[in-house]
Each structure stands twice: as C-alpha cells, then as structure tokens.
Structure 1
C-alpha cells in the first residue's frame, strides 16, 4: 500500500501539520501539496508542491496524477466549486477516501454562517461514491498560532468552543482517512 496523498491547502496552518504527520507515518508515501500560490512551507524528498487552483477542475486534473494517489484531503472552505473538484477527482481516480475538516456546531450565532457553509461542503463531498472521512473540529489552535484566532484563544474569546490542538486535528484526519486503527 502506497498511502500517497494529495493535500489540498497543504501549506496552510492545518495543512502543514497534516503534511508533517503524514510524512512521519508513511515515510515512503508521495505527498502532493496543492496551493494557489507558490508557497513551499515544508520540504522533503517525497513532498511535491503543486501550484494549482482547485476551483478549476480541468487545471486540477491536468496538474495532478490521480492514478498515483490513494487519498485526498481537502482543507478548502467557501467554494463549492473546489469541493466538487475534490469529490469528482476522487471518484474519477477511484481514491480510497476523502479527508475533510468540518466544524462542530455549538449554536453560537456569530459562527452560524461558517458552520452552515462547512456542513454544505460536507454534504457535497458525501454526494459522491468515495468514502468521506470527516473530523469536526472546534477552534484549532497551537501555542505558536499568533493570528487573530490565536490571540482570541489566549484571551479566552473561544471558551464556549473548547479549542483543539492542530496536532490532534491532523492525527484524527489521518486516522479517519486511512482507517489507521485497522492496521
């Protein structure tokens, strides 16, 4: 089993952690990290950076070789086109699973639009025949997170949504996607 993976959004906060953990667990696996920009946050022998916009299904297909991968993890948000590209790519190439990070609904009015958007994305992924491995997170944190969310967590702004560490999110997404507990 090759355990090759495409990580859509792999240069972001959560994507970098998933990439590092995947590389540690499956050192021989090829990891294709996609992003719209030319960021190459993590380097390694089996890490391949692919600059492509997942909103463009034809470009995505041309840039990647689905027959060489087993899994795809999507860390996109806010674009049904991107979600459909991932779902359709996974189906076309008979991937084993799609990994996805959703969000828990704590009934916080300020989060309602984001929660609804993530739920719609999950439904779209689940419309295809490929198994979707979803992990619903709360606010994702790290002691090194210094953006507005990280500052808000440290200030207690998210206490009603207990933060979860990025390491746990990555671990859960990988476990659920690969069904690691079966090995």
Structure 2
C-alpha cells in the first residue's frame, strides 16, 4: 500500500492529483492537508487533515509515522517547506513532490518565478529525492474563469499553458517512477 501526503491538496492541482492517483492505484492512501476544514474529494482512501503546515509541532503530530511520498502544493512559506522537507527526511519518504515554474519569463511575475525557483532549490538541498514538474499557466478540468478564457483565446500561447491533467500525470509518474516499474 502506498501512502502519500498532499500538503495543500484541496487546491486546483492537488484535486487533480488526488483524482488521478485514486484511479491509478486502488491501494493508495492519500492524506490531504489544509488549513481549513475542506473535504474536496470524498473517498474512503482519502483522509482529510486540518492542520497549519507552518506549525511544525502540529504538522508532525497530525501525520502518520511514515509516508511514501509528501507533495507540496503550497508556496511562499519557508516554514511550510522546512516542515515538509523535515517530515520527509525524518519519516523515510521516497520522494517529495513539487510543482515548479521552469525557466520562463513572465512579465509582472518575476518575484513569483524567483520564489518558486528558490523553493525548488531548498527542497533539492534536502536528503530526499525531489520529483518536480515545471508548469506555467495551468488550465483544464474544473476551471472556467478568466484564466481559462485567456488560454482558450490564445492570449497565453507564448508561455505555453499546460493542462492540469498533464501536470498531475507527470507529477505522479515522477514520484513513483512509473517508467521504472
């Protein structure tokens, strides 16, 4: 049985990763954490845990003694990344999953791109393998907002946009090393 912790997993990309992992692995156990008491996907193999991942003691006590994978869908908090990396190292995780930004130029988003690059470097400096997927604008399932309209209109073709389904598939593949099976 595979156990994965999806930190911030109730968000847009996290929900798609949860859906796909449930379809791919009938024995998977997913622990989805969020600060709020959100239960976006109901399934007996999904446990929802309300915890602030920036609180090291609360994060540690809310999670199981071991997990195969820890995936972060968070950004902008060094404390959260320290707690994720620390948990993964302490509890023998095989990999930490991350969605990065890649080597793109996004006018007006330079600070965000720099932050995501620094987060990836921090995770890679740890002792646990990092499975990273670089993305730009993520669109697709469950998204019908101004961003999705901009993608459909071609306004963001220069980035290029990437579908949430592809991001989720690549992230799971890289975590479990699907090609090595």
Q: Report the TM-score range of the alignment, normalised by the length of the smaller protein.
A: over 0.9
Output the TM-score relative to the length of structure 2: 0.95
Per-residue Cα deviation, 1:87-141 (whole angstroms, up to 9, x for no partner): 0000000110001000123223312111100001111111210000111012100
Quote the residue 2:22 is aligned against.
23
Aligned-residue Cα RMSD (Å) equals 1.3
Alignment of 1:27-42 (within 5 A): 27-42=26-41
Match of 1:83 in 2: 81
Q: CA deviation at 1:143?
A: 5.2
Partner of 1:132: 130
Once residues 158 and 85 of structure 1 are traced to their aligned partners in structure 2, the CA distance between those partners, rounded to angstroms, is 35
* Aligned counterparts of 1:158 and 1:59: Cα–Cα separation in 2: 40
Identify unmatched segments of 5+ residues in structure 2. none
Contact 2:137/2:160, CA 8 A, preserved across alignment: yes
- Matched with 2:150 is 152
Count of residues paired in the alignment? 181
| 1:103–1:138 contact (8 Å) kept in structure 2 | yes
Structure 1 CA distance for aligned equivalents of residues 180 and 96 of structure 2: 17
1:96–1:131 Cα contact (<8 Å) kept: yes
Match of 2:4 in 1: 5
2:159 is the alignment partner of 1:161? yes
The CA deviation string for residues 4-48 of structure 1, in whole angstroms up to 9 with x for no partner, is 100111111000000011111111111000011111010111110
The normalised TM-score by structure 1 is 0.94
What residue number does 2:52 align with? Answer: 53
Question: Structure 1 residue aligned with 2:108, among 107, 110, 119?
Answer: 110
Alignment check: 8 A CA contact 2:141 2:165 kept: no
1:64-103 counterparts in 2 under 5 A? 64-67=63-66, 69-103=67-101
Q: Any conservation in 1 of the 2:5–2:70 contact (CA below 8 Å)?
A: yes
